[in-house]
A and B are shown apart, each in its own frame.
Chain A
């Protein structure tokens, strides 16, 4: 049996089979949750915002424009949910002095136990390095962070990022270039 496409699911949900929307959630929950988590760096808030994202996706389903990829549209809603969150919290830019919370440290411990992963040279990354990468991402201004996460962690193409963020591709490339430059400075000692 072939899997239903996003479009087929959307059409069926719109025709009244709302239970099928659960398939959409299963399909995108991990990606959207991880995107939001990289943006806000707080598990519970990320989960609440991911929930809000799917609720909005459902409530706006009638307005979904089929000329866009469904996944791009879902990301766009997640991005807007995050922006609303930052606006409400009034911390569009994270302070450089912000210490990494205890929760963050302990969550990293979970990663280490659950999975091992390697850098391009095949050297196992240690906990400190991963923490440094996370911190470097969090130090980026939100507009750069949004794009670097979409590009390098969620693996979206330039065109998809442009669709998600409503920015011209040229601007997307510029933001990525500047964000990477900043990350290279912050992670200098691990890149040499």
Chain B
């Protein structure tokens, strides 16, 4: 027998040699008494638990279907997906345009119509992920202008300029 087997055998011996305890006197009688005490058919909580759960589930379903309660909590998807809401403003009293749109990397350079919210004051809110974007305003559908309120500009490759929008990853609802 090698040393390992010897240790194994010793351990078994030690474990099996632990003394057995005796239950206290009258144990069986006390158990029988406890059994008698539970027998008259009084339902214990564990037995009615499933009915309680079932009733609560029915109540919940009824509340969902018979009321305006949402089945799932309403979540702000844009925040979950990492989007930021950015408010773009165009203000140029000298232009007095009929329509103003914005186009940029964030819209694949498609026009996003802006709303005139005051005299010569146009506004739109876009949802973009944090990053660096070029954009420009489109006045009356034909004239491209960089943002007059933004100092950040880069050449657009056509002899003009685009403005630069930087959206950081920390702030929600940053605006220009």
- Given the interface contacts A34-B21, A115-B19, does A21 sit within 8 Å of B32 by beta carbon? yes
Encode A43-60 as 1/0 by CB contact (under 8 A) with B: 100010011001100110
Encode A113-141 as 1/0 by CB contact (under 8 A) with B: 01101111100010001100110010000
Encode B1-31 as 1/0 by CB contact (under 8 A) with A: 0000001111111111111111110011111
Q: Is B75 an interface residue (CB 8 A)?
A: no
- Given the interface contacts A25-B27, A54-B31, A55-B31, does A148 sit within 8 Å of B15 by beta carbon? yes
Q: Is A191 an interface residue (CB 8 A)?
A: yes
Partner of B22, one of A21, A26, A30, A180: A30
Interface of B (DSSP majority class): helix
Residues of A within 8 A of B34 (CB): 51, 55
Chain A, interface residues (CB within 8 Å), range: 35 or more
Encode A165-192 as 1/0 by CB contact (under 8 A) with B: 0000000000000001001100100111
CB pair A25–B28 under 8 Å, yes or no, is yes
Bound complex: CA of A120 vs CA of B11, how far in Å? 9
Bound complex: CA of A28 vs CA of B31, how far in Å? 12
- Given the interface contacts A43-B21, A120-B9, does A51 sit within 8 Å of B30 by beta carbon? yes
Interface of A (DSSP majority class): helix
CB pair A125–B17 under 8 Å, yes or no, is yes
Chain B, interface residues (CB within 8 Å), range: 20 to 34
Q: Is A111 an interface residue (CB 8 A)?
A: yes
Bound complex: CA of A32 vs CA of B27, how far in Å? 12
CB pair B27–A152 under 8 Å, yes or no, is no
Query: Smallest CB–CB gap between A184 and chain B, Å?
Result: 6
CB pair A33–B21 under 8 Å, yes or no, is yes
Bound complex: CA of A184 vs CA of B11, how far in Å? 7
Residues of B within 8 A of A148 (CB): 15
Query: Smallest CB–CB gap between A61 and chain B, Å?
Result: 10
Bound complex: CA of A152 vs CA of B16, how far in Å? 6
Bound complex: CA of A48 vs CA of B95, how far in Å? 89
CB pair A119–B10 under 8 Å, yes or no, is yes
Q: State the B residues within 8 Å of A (CB).
A: 7-24, 27-32, 34-35, 38
A-B contact pairs, 14 of them (CB 8 A): A18-B35, A21-B32, A30-B21, A33-B21, A47-B24, A51-B34, A117-B19, A119-B14, A120-B9, A120-B13, A125-B17, A133-B14, A134-B18, A184-B8
